Every structure is written in C-alpha cells, then in structure tokens.
Amino acid sequence: MELKLDLDKEYGLVLEGGGAKGAYQIGAWKALKEAGVKIKGIVGVSVGALNGALICMDDLERAEEIWKNIDYSKVMAVNDDTIKALKKKDFKSLGLAELINSGLQIVKEGGFDVTPLKNLISEVVGDGERIRNSERELYTVTYSVSDRKELTVDVRAGERGSVKDMLLASANFLAFKNEKLGGKKYMDGGGFNNVPINVLLDHEYKDIIVIRIYGWGFDKERVVKIPDGVNVSHIAPRQDLGGILEFDKTLARKNMTLGYYDAQRFLYGLCGKVYYIDAPNLEPYYFDRMMSELELLKYYIKDIVTEEGMETLAGYRIFTEKLFPKLAEEFKLKTDWDYKDMYLGLLEDLAKRLKVKRFGIYTVESLLLEIRKKIKMQEEVKPLI
C-alpha cells in the first residue's frame, strides 16, 4: 500500500464533540500515529477536548484503556444495571419506586451528576503539567454562561492546575449538572461550534485533518471559508456510532475499530464502501477480471442464464447493457460509475452476504479468496436479481 499523506508536513487535528461517540477518534488517532503522521496541534470540543488532551500527552495506551472499559458510571453517578435495563426497555427488572426516585433526583439536581467524569479527568491529566509542557498545542472551545459568549481556550497557556477545569468546561453537556468552575458557569462548546476548524485557521495551520463523529451541535465548518493554500482532509464514519450518552464498552470498542480502519482508508486511499480494499489498478484491469470470473455473476442472474451455464452467453452486451445497469442500482453506485466501481461493488456485496469478516485490509485477490472459501462452505448463494 502507498501512503497518501506527506509525512514531512505537520498537521492540525480537529476533534468534534459527540459524547460516547468519541471512541472513534481514538481509533483514528491510533492509525495516524502508526503511520507516523506528525500532529502539531489539536482543537477539540467536549469529548474532543478530552481526547485532545490524551493526544497532546501522546498517551495512546491510556486512551485505549479508558474507552475499552468505559461505562455509564465512569461518566455519570448512575447505576449501570439501571441504565442498561432502561436502554433495553426491561422495566420488569426495575423497581418502580427506584425508577421514579432516580428520575426525580436527576431533575431536582439539574441534570446528571458528573463527579465520576471529573475524577477521571483529574486522574488522567493530574496537575496538567504534561499538557502544559507538551510540544503539541491544545485548544478547546466552550461557552461562558456567565459572560454570555463563546470562548476559545489555549489549554497550555492556562494557570497551573487549571487544565482539568478547562477540559470540563468544554464538556459540560446540557444533560449534565452544571456547577461553577473558577466562579463561572460554562456550557458544552458544541452547541455553538462543534467542528472548530476556525481555531486552527486563526493559528495559520495549513494542513488540517478533521475527525468527524457527527455529534450534537452547530457545524461551524460549513460556514467557514477555507483560505487558499490550506488543505483540509476528513476522516468520517459511514455508519451510526450510537447515542451521545451511550457509554457502553462493547459499542466503544466497535467504534474504535471502525475509526482505526476508516483512518487507514484515508491514509492509503483504500476503496470500498464497507470493506477496506487496496485496489490501485485502472478500470480496464477490473473489467477484465470481472469477465474472467463469470462464476461470480451467476449469483446475480435468474432468467437470462440457461441451464447450460454462463459459457453459453455470447459476447459482453448482455452484461454491459442488461446486467450491470441493474447491479449498479442494487449496489447504489454513483451515477457515473465505472467498471472498477462495479467489480468492487460485486465483491463487497458477495462478501456482505457471505459474512466475510469486515475489518481487515484486503487486496481484490485476498477478498476474492475469502469469498470463494465461504461459497465452498455453503450450498447455495441466493440470486440477487
């Protein structure tokens, strides 16, 4: 595989807010780190600020440990079993009095008690000196309720011991109990600027990577003008990452894995909508492969194939004029699809239907090999059309 990113450059990282979805960002960072991408600075909002602190400290091991073991009670003062039962709508396992009392207490206190999150932040950043002494810049965005204005905070420039308060100020989600920090009240910055690319632009970053998790809040990137000479790239999920407050370790581990492989797709120009396929050749190569592997196409044909099999079909027109346009619709290919798109769509569809393991980097040859192994293991693959 050929790396598509210039490792001689230094990059700025934008980390969106999105609560429990933040595990995805750590998976993506792991891939960037393994590839040797130099990160000069980070701007993060809410969970992006907390992950940004870990990246600023270059503590991947701690970041993975936190997200692999995350639970509701690690963030909020709640009972994990109660939250999980509510999530499953398993009301029989909950005492009615317990449920009512818990709900009333949360309302009375003005939101979820986030003492566990405060303790976690304090444990991770300590007195903040590792961040203050880091070579990487770290910015957060929050909203000062007391001053009624959005604030951008240079975390490294803060007073000694103030780092954890700055991070918590950015992560004060609306559902959380809002307590004063340093005599003032703050609100999650995501509601006002959840993709704060403008902060890095203001600090004259020329190469920026945005890691999207599609959290709640205002996407300021949509209204920011990107200056000439600035390169902005995105790593983004193609599937739902779950709820903002869905602090479940199983989901977090899946999202970290997804972030890791989505970053690999970005780094190495991998193809595929669901799978991760190294396919560097041009369109004619894939057309020739498709026409030499006609046994795969039989799974997509009913009426136009005779009992004698695929070899009875003369010429390519029956494929190019009848079958492939139908498959393009089924595979949801872009309107200007080419035969490379078609071949990869064919492989991906078969792989999904045969339940080939998704996470891994495949060549077209290795993915085809896995497909053929699966076909041998089952008697029939039902035709698609």
- Kindly write down the DSSP assignment for every residue of 266-325, as one continuous string: HHHT-B-SSSEEE--S-HHHHHHHHHH-GGGGGGG-STTS-TT-GGG--SSHIIIIIIHH
Kindly list the distances between the CA atom of residue 115 and the CA atoms of 47, 249, 346, 379, in Å, as whole numbers in the listed order.
16, 19, 51, 56
Q: Give the count of beta carbons closer than 10 Å to the beta carbon of residue 202.
A: 12
145's CB contacts (< 8 A; 6+ apart) are 178, 184, 185, 186, 187
Is 46 assigned a catalytic role? yes
* CA dihedral sign, ordered 55, 59, 60, 64: negative
Q: For residue 314, which amino acid is it?
A: A
Is 170 assigned a catalytic role? no
- For residues 129 and 112, is the Cβ–Cβ distance under 8 A? no
CA dist., res. 233 & res. 36, Å (int): 17
- For residues 362 and 280, is the Cβ–Cβ distance under 8 A? no
Element of type H or E holding 144: strand 137-144
* CA dihedral sign, ordered 183, 42, 28, 33: negative
- Kindly write down the DSSP assignment for every residue of 163-178, as one continuous string: HHHHHHHHT--TTB--
Set 134, 162, 165, 188: catalytic member: 188
The residues assigned a catalytic role are 46, 188
